[in-house]
């Protein structure tokens, strides 16, 4: 199967992106990122290859935004593991209490066709009866879906929760996604980014070779612990919604391991 890298555009190889020979705008790549910054990214347990410098911080692993503050703050990160193929989360989770509704909104500048995929992504989460519920609103959602800068090298990006609240935005690059994308494919992209917003890392954190292709790539344990979820497999999970890479047009609803991880956290 041809692997398209959903969230990186250009001649880069990175998480959840795709490759393209199109380079019609100036971009900032790893060549302009300092070695000390790359070292800090690795120390925090993130893949430090193909890092992009963006406004206010860096995009790592193809779609995860880390601010300058994230790189300098003290971290005590743990992880949620599903066998060798791991469902990872940060210690920054949404404070759901006994129940919480997270609102999501679609920026008015985006194609109206995106609404169907956003509704479907919300539906995937709500079908699992979690302590967090998703609800679409017309504006000012807790998570706002907005357009990425025209120079973006990714299809979509998001960050992790802070202060018990979800990360506030998902940026999507309309020039690569198009105005009328395959609904299942784009639903998977949005569900994936929402996953980051509520605290999930990439499932193939320890070995992205089976989802992205190429040689074995282990990002290293760093200071990241791992908590195995009983009853989950110890082999590669090739259909998780939080894998770093995905085939063109592929639809990945939550699989059984995803559901286990979601219900473990929420």
**pLDDT tens-digit readout, 90-101:** 567 899 999 999
Domain boundaries along the sequence of the chain? 3-265
Binning pLDDT at 50, 70 and 90, where does residue 158 land?
A: very high
For residue range 17-76, what is the model confidence (pLDDT) as tens digits?
A: 432 222 223 334 555 888 888 888 877 777 787 888 888 888 887 788 888 887 877 655
Q: Is the C-alpha dihedral spanning 183, 189, 190, 195 positive or negative?
A: positive
Angle (CA) 15-23-6 rounded to 5° is 25
Q: How many angstroms separate the CA atoms of 39 and 35, rounded?
A: 6
Distance CA 212, CA 84 (A): 16
179: left (phi over 0), alpha (psi -120 to 50) or beta: alpha
- Fold held by 3-265: Collagenase (Catalytic Domain) (3.40.390)
Pairing between strand 143-147 and 100-106? parallel
Confidence of residue 234 (pLDDT cuts 50, 70, 90): low
Rounded Cα gap, residues 151 and 243, in angstroms? 25
CA distances from 143 to 18, 86, 165 (A): 24, 25, 10
> pTM for the full model?
0.77
Q: Give per-residue pLDDT as tens, 236-245.
A: 677 889 887 7
Angle at 164 between CA 101 and CA 233, to 5 degrees: 80
């Amino acid at each position: 199967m041809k692997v398209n890298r959903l969230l990186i555009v250009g001649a880069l190889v990175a998480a959840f992106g795709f490759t393209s020979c199109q380079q019609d705008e100036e971009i900032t790549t790893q060549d302009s990122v300092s070695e000390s910054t790359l070292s800090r990214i690795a120390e925090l347990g993130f893949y430090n290859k193909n890092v992009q410098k963006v406004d206010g911080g860096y995009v790592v692993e193809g779609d995860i935004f880390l601010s300058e503050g994230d790189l300098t703050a003290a971290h005590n990160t743990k992880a949620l593991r599903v066998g060798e193929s791991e469902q990872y989360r940060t210690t920054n989770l949404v404070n759901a209490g006994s129940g919480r509704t997270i609102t999501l909104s679609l920026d008015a500048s985006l194609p109206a066709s995106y609404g169907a995929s956003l509704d479907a992504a919300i539906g995937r989460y709500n079908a699992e009866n979690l302590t967090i519920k998703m609800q679409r609103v017309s504006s000012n959602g807790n998570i706002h879906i907005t357009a990425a800068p025209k120079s973006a090298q990714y299809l979509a990006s998001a960050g992790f929760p802070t202060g018990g609240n979800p990360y506030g935005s998902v940026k999507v690059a309309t020039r690569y996604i198009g105005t009328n994308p395959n609904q299942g494919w784009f639903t998977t992209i949005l569900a994936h980014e929402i996953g980051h917003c509520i605290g999930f890392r990439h499932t193939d954190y320890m070995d992205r070779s089976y989802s992205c292709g190429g040689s074995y790539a282990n990002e290293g344990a760093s200071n990241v612990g791992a908590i195995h979820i009983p009853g989950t497999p110890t082999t590669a999970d090739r259909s998780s919604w939080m894998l770093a890479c995905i085939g063109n047009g592929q639809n990945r609803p939550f699989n059984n391991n995803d559901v286990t991880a979601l219900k473990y956290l929420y």
